[in-house]
């Protein structure tokens, strides 16, 4: 069952529920609706056939904000209307502090930017999302590199008026792709995972013709199937749904299950429904609707689903096994593990998702740890990302420089480096520790960062220069451990009140470029792999 938009047409009038929602005796006789249920091709009404289910779709949002921390590359230009808005917004964020907002905006170390992003759809597992930031057209800003978006309210694109409600906000360090093949203007950048929507996703079941009897029947059926208080009738024609904890990371699956839930039940028709959907699951090209229908029916489907675990079709086995595991049957666990570790194409990551979402945490973590050493790098990354979701101890995580995560992943002979360029900035070191060899001299492209590992010494000299003047602003030592080098370079500089040793404040963008150099030049014996760029689908105004 897919969600629909406002132009959708309901195919059956809601009033028909009144004649179909009555009780039935033990033999399955249903009075006025017996002919309907006895028809071999008609399995009875589902909620999705009698009402429309509305859920949020991806929407483009925009806002305006101030990027600070620039080294003289910003500008003071700002349209009067945006300046007035920013003054109100900034003063609202810090009501107890006296700030000269005009002076802040006019500084060459700040730049006014437009912020654009897309709120994740219901299918997304995460609420946070990437945004693109760009200096306003006509301003003298030359670069946002090394900057920080202080904060921006986000509204649905085209609704930036004073009366428009903010739907989210964004803040965080500006990321610039320093390792891609396509040159990117320094007047634009991304804030990875820096935006978040304010409200929970609201899902509604809407009837064609409002009626108390109908809406109560649908509400009761949803609560009977998915748990008390999942559905609340807020008007005679609308029900609001709360996503159960089990489906918190699978909101779209929950919506599909609600739509596939039958309004009535009795042993005879339930058996007929199961047989029909099992046959469809075994023979159809699109197996997902049948899987959802069987899960919506519940544990009564398990016996016949288990037969499909012996199918010659890996696709059929996967759908049947995922459905069974979601229904709480561990009988399907071995089937999903077999698919996850197989060398066949396409379905391995789907099987990993099913194990992560439905299997016992320890069972899922065990197979995911095993796959950290898989010969396919994509599978290693998939296993690592799902171990993150499980918060497994095989991934040691720390936050560096208020900017990105440094993950040390498992152990073993394989050495690899993965850097993300969307959603969540992170450097993952597979097979840690990864060591930098000695007798190495590496310099960043702009000459501001130098790594020098003299032959026979037990340290790496780490130097950072001032970008414009070229003078040394930091000269520190690190061990040969790549994780330690990253900490020294990217931790925030020490202030007078700090009791801990600080770092050189290198940005995430600069660091991943340097890590790529180390790998490309053989200074570290580790395969380098960058993640995909953000897919926002819209550009800021130039």
* Same domain for 292 and 235: no
* Same domain for 327 and 224: no
- Domain endpoint, select from 335, 356, 390: 390
Token code pair at residue 65: 């904000």
φ/ψ of 339, rounded to 5, equals -70, -40
pLDDT in 10s for each residue of the chain, 542 residues:
333 332 222 222 223 322 333 333 333 333 333 332 233 458 999 999 889 999 877 889 999 999 999 999 999 999 999 999 999 999 998 877 788 999 999 999 999 999 999 998 877 777 799 999 999 999 999 999 999 999 999 999 987 766 678 989 999 999 999 998 777 899 999 999 999 988 777 899 999 888 899 899 999 999 999 999 999 999 999 999 999 999 988 999 999 999 999 999 999 999 999 999 999 999 999 999 999 999 999 999 999 999 999 999 999 999 999 999 999 999 999 999 999 999 766 799 999 999 999 999 999 999 999 999 898 999 999 999 999 999 999 999 999 998 999 999 987 788 999 999 999 999 999 998 999 999 999 999 989 999 999 898 899 999 999 876 667 888 899 999 999 999 999 999 876 555 566 899 999 999 999 999 999 999 999 999 999 999 886 555 55
* Same domain for 39 and 128: no
Residue 256 lies in a domain: no
* Same domain for 193 and 67: yes
CB 115 within 8 A of CB 157: no
SS3 267: helix
Structural domain for 338, as ranges = 288-390
* Same domain for 104 and 178: yes
What per-residue confidence (pLDDT) applies to 453?
Answer: 92
* Same domain for 117 and 177: yes
Residue 326 lies in a domain: yes
CB 240 within 8 A of CB 232: yes
φ/ψ of 496, rounded to 5, equals -60, -30
Look up tokens 């748990």; give the residue: 227
Pairing status of strand 460-465 against strand 472-478: antiparallel
* Same domain for 192 and 318: no
* Same domain for 438 and 313: no
Task: Compute the distance between CA of residue 46 and CA of residue 256 in angstroms, rounded to an integer.
Answer: 11
* Same domain for 176 and 64: yes
* Same domain for 125 and 79: yes
pTM of the entire predicted model: 0.86
* Same domain for 467 and 412: yes
Number of domains in the chain: 4
What per-residue confidence (pLDDT) applies to 183?
Answer: 77
* Same domain for 80 and 44: no
Element spanning 349, H or E:
helix 348-358
Alpha-carbon distances of 48 from 44, 58, 243, rounded to whole Å:
11, 22, 17
């Amino acid at each position: 069952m897919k969600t629909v938009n406002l132009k959708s047409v309901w195919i059956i009038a809601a009033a028909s529920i009144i004649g179909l929602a009555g009780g039935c005796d033990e033999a399955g006789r249903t009075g006025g609706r017996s002919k309907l249920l006895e028809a071999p091709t008609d399995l009875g009404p589902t909620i999705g056939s009698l009402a429309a289910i509305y859920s949020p779709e991806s929407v483009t949002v925009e806002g305006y904000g101030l990027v600070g921390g620039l080294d003289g590359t910003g500008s003071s230009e700002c349209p009067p209307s945006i300046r007035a808005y920013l003054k109100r917004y900034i003063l609202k964020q810090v009501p107890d502090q006296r700030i000269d907002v005009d002076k802040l905006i006019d500084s060459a170390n700040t730049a006014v930017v437009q912020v654009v992003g897309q709120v994740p759809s219901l299918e997304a597992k995460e609420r946070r999302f990437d945004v693109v930031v760009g200096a306003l057209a006509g301003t003298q800003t030359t670069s946002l590199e090394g900057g920080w978006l202080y904060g921006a309210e986000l509204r649905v694109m085209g609704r930036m008026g004073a009366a428009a409600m903010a739907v989210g906000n964004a803040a965080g360090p500006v990321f610039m792709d320093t390792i891609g093949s396509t040159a990117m203007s320094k007047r634009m950048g991304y804030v990875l995972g820096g935006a978040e929507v304010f409200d929970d996703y609201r899902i509604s079941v809407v009837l064609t013709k409002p009626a108390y009897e109908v809406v109560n029947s649908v509400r009761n059926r949803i609560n009977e199937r998915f748990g008390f208080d999942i559905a609340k009738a807020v008007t005679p024609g609308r029900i609001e749904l709360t996503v159960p904890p089990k489906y918190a990371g699978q909101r779209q699956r929950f919506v599909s299950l609600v739509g596939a839930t039958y309004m009535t039940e009795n042993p005879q028709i339930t058996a007929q429904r199961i047989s029909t959907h099992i046959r469809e699951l075994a023979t159809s090209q699109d197996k997902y609707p049948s899987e959802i229908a069987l899960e919506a029916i519940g544990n009564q489907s398990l016996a016949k689903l288990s037969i499909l675990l012996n199918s010659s079709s890996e696709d059929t086995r996967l759908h049947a096994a995922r459905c069974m595991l979601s229904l709480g049957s561990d009988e399907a666990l071995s089937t999903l593990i077999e698919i996850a570790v197989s060398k066949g194409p396409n379905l391995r990551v789907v099987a990993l998702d099913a194990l992560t979402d439905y299997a016992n945490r320890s069972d899922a973590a065990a197979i995911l740890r095993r796959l950290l050493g898989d010969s396919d790098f994509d599978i290693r990354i998939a296993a690592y990302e799902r171990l993150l979701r499980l918060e497994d101890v095989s991934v040691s995580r720390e936050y560096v420089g208020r900017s990105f995560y440094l993950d040390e992943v498992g152990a073993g002979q394989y050495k690899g480096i993965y850097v993300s360029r969307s959603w969540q900035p992170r450097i993952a070191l597979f097979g840690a520790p990864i060591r930098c060899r000695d007798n190495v001299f590496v310099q960043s492209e702009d000459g501001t960062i130098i790594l020098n590992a003299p032959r026979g010494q037990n340290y790496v000299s780490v130097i950072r220069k001032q970008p414009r003047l070229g003078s040394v602003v930091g000269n520190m030592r690190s061990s040969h451990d790549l994780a330690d080098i990253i900490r020294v370079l990217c931790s925030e500089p020490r202030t007078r009140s700090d009791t801990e040793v600080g770092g050189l404040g290198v940005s995430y963008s600069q660091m991943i470029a340097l890590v790529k150099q180390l790998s490309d030049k053989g200074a570290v014996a580790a395969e380098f792999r960058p993640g995909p760029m953000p897919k926002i689908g819209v550009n800021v105004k130039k």
